[in-house]
Amino acid sequence: MSTEEKSLHFIEQIIEDSLASGFPQENLRFRFPPEPNGYLHIGHAKSICLNFGLGLKYNAPVNLRFDDTNPAKEEQEYVDAIKHDLHWLGFEWAEERFASDYFQQLYDWAVLMIQNGKAYVDSQSSSAMADQKGTPTQPGIDGPYRNRSVEENLTLFQGMKNGDFPEGSHVLRAKIDMASTNMLMRDPLMYRVLHRHHHRTGDDWKIYPMYDFAHGESDYIEQISHSICTLEFVMHRELYNWFLDQIYDNKKVRPNQYEFARLNLNYTVMSKRKLLQLVQENIVNGWDDPRMPTISGLRRRGYTANSIRKFCDIIGVAKRENVIDVSLLEFCLREDLNKTAPRVMAVLDPIKVIITNYPEGKEESLDAENNQEDEKAGFRKVPFSKELYIEREDFLEEAPAKFFRLSIGREVRLKNAYIIKGESVVKDSEGNITEIHVTYYEDSRSGSGSEASQKKVAGTLHWVSIKHAIEAEVRLYDRLFIDESPDSHKEKNFLDFMNPNSLQIVKGFVEPSLSDVKSDEKFQFQRLGYFNVDKNSTASKLVFNKTVGLKDAWEEKGKKEENLLMNTQKEINKYVKEKDENAAENLLKPIIDNIKSIDNYSLITQTIIKNIKNDNNSLLFSNLILNYSDKVLAKDIEQEPLAKLYSMSLKSQLASVRFFAIQNLEKDLDNLNEFKEQLSDLKANEKNKKVLELLNEL
Q: Could you list the active site residues?
A: 35, 262, 272
One-letter amino acid for residue 50 of the chain: L
CB contact at 8 A, 568 and 592: no
Residue 171 pairs in a beta bridge with: 122, 192
Helix, strand, or coil (residue 392): helix
User: Using CB atoms within 10 A of its CB, is residue 480 exposed (0-12), middle (13-18) or buried (19+)?
Assistant: buried
41 is in an annotated binding site: yes
367 is in an annotated binding site: no
Task: List % helix, strand, coil for the chain (3-state, nearest 5).
Answer: 40, 20, 40
263 is in an annotated binding site: yes
Nearest to 39 by CA among 290, 266, 286: 286
45 is in an annotated binding site: yes
35 is in an annotated binding site: yes
294 is in an annotated binding site: no
271 is in an annotated binding site: yes
Q: Tell me the three-class secondary structure of 188-215, residue by residue.
A: CEEEEECCCCECCCECCCCEEECHHHHH
151 is in an annotated binding site: no
630 is in an annotated binding site: no
486 is in an annotated binding site: no
Residues 6+ apart with CB under 8 A from 614: 648
Residues 6+ apart with CB under 8 A from 489: 483, 601, 636
Helix, strand, or coil (residue 401): coil
Alpha-carbon distance of 316 to 309, in angstroms, equals 11
- Residue 354's φ and ψ, nearest 5 degrees, are -115, 125
67 is in an annotated binding site: yes
Nearest to 602 by CA among 561, 655, 548: 561
What are the Cα distances from residue 653, in Å, to 28, 275, 360, 576? Answer: 72, 50, 75, 12
Question: Kindly report the CA angle at 356 between 355 and 358, in degrees rounded to 5?
Answer: 65
Question: Strand 529-533 and strand 522-525: pairing?
Answer: antiparallel
537 is in an annotated binding site: no
E strands, 237-349, are 256-260, 264-265, 323-324, 343-344, 346-347
Question: Kindly report the CA angle at 315 between 313 and 320, in degrees rounded to 5?
Answer: 130
518 is in an annotated binding site: no
230 is in an annotated binding site: yes
Alpha-carbon distance of 216 to 529, in angstroms, equals 47
One-letter amino acid for residue 293 of the chain: P
272 is in an annotated binding site: yes
Q: Tell me the three-class secondary structure of 451-520, residue by residue.
A: CHHHCCCCCEECCEECCCCEEEEEEEECCCECCCCCCCCCCCCHHHHECCCCEEEEEEEECHHHCCCCCC
462 is in an annotated binding site: no
CB contact at 8 A, 405 and 395: yes
Nearest to 225 by CA among 479, 448, 14, 529: 14
Q: Which residue positions form the known binding site? A: 35-37, 41-47, 67, 211, 230, 262-263, 270-272
For the annotated binding site for L-glutamine, the residues are 67, 211
Q: Which residues are annotated as a binding site for ATP?
A: 35-37, 41-47, 230, 262-263, 270-272
